[in-house]
Structure 1
Amino acid sequence: MFTELCIGIFDQSIRDYHIHNDIYRKVENPYGKTTVEHLLYGKNWIDTVQWHLEDVVRDPHIDPVKALDLKRWIDRSNQERTDMVEYIDSYFLDKYKDVIPQPKATINTESPAWAIDRLSILGLKIYHMREEATRPDASEEHRKTCQRKLNILLEQQKDLSTAIEELLEDISKGRKYMKVYKQMKMYNDPSLNPVLYGQKP
């Protein structure tokens, strides 16, 4: 199943990141650039780095200048994340390009890649919640609470995987069709953000 491939690659990316646990370390994608595996690994690496950027920027003692630099890095990361989702959707659009939708075919609330984006974030939640559930210096109550949360996350991962597989099956059979809208983010665009285009050179 495609979601098994996704989960395996996301887990690999997360483990690889935590070998060094360094937000500045460049990705070393082990998959060929023309493969969907390359996209999935790269997508999760962006998510993993951003997860840790969000941790760092919340340090109450962080230098304000550094915090602003990190916030701008997070903005760039959000754009890269969106771009990667659109690349993954392009893979599905190409894969199913010859499928003729049935007369009563319907559109889904989100594209396959945006559902896979949620699966990637879930992988990060599961990894870090498992860390907390087994943290030796935490209290027993803390570990038990985190284990309960981990169990819910694992159930959510299973349910989301099932929903994604059903969506892909429906698309392949023409029961649903893909219609992808490019994410028209405005805050990074100097021509659309009034704070940016309102500034004089």
Structure 2
Amino acid sequence: MKKVIAINGSPRRNGNTAELLQQALKGAQESGAEIELINLYSLNFKGCISCFYCKRKDKAHGTCAMKDDLTPIIERIKEADALIMGVPVYFMNLSSGMSAFIERLLFSNYIYSNEIPTVFPKSLPNAFIYTMNMTEEDVKQFGMREKFAVHEGFAGKILRAETKNLYAYNTTQFSDYDKYESSIIDPQAKAAYREEMFPRQCTAAYELGKSILAD
């Protein structure tokens, strides 16, 4: 049985990112895959420390020298058949946990070679699901898709497979906006957008999970 691993890069276990990942995994499971959800913020790990152990000629390329909670996760990903990464956008960037995860997974398998720049052992279909308070117009204005396309490009090259993406815009941050200073946000408009769009985003995540092994 093929396996799909989802990585929740949000500190919230039951937030927007987690919900969309659950829908993606549901789609993968209904297509016959074994599934696993990993919450990054439950792990004790660091990002890359730039020791270059993974690129030394006298060592096995692609092996990270760091030993922590992420070490066995990376090994399980190498054995998986697809990877879905849930990415909350904080302060116009990836969450710090997801950024550290990408450093550890992708950079350790990237080598400075003129021939094949990756030592990842197989073709691993992969996808990014982004969640954000930003609207679609904000994303266009600040060039966020172009920014994130850079690490999507590296993921596709290093993991030797197509990288897909799904954007969930204008997500709800708080259950009660009256409790927080958020005067730039219209809670009623936000709630109306969520009521209309989040079910569609969940359906899109489900279809992504259902199709990620199709190719």
TM-score by length of 2: 0.34
Higher relative contact order (CA 8 A, sep 6+): 2
**Higher normalized helix content (fraction of residues):** 1
TM-score normalised according to structure 1 size = 0.36
Whose strand fraction is larger, Structure 1's or Structure 2's?
Answer: 2
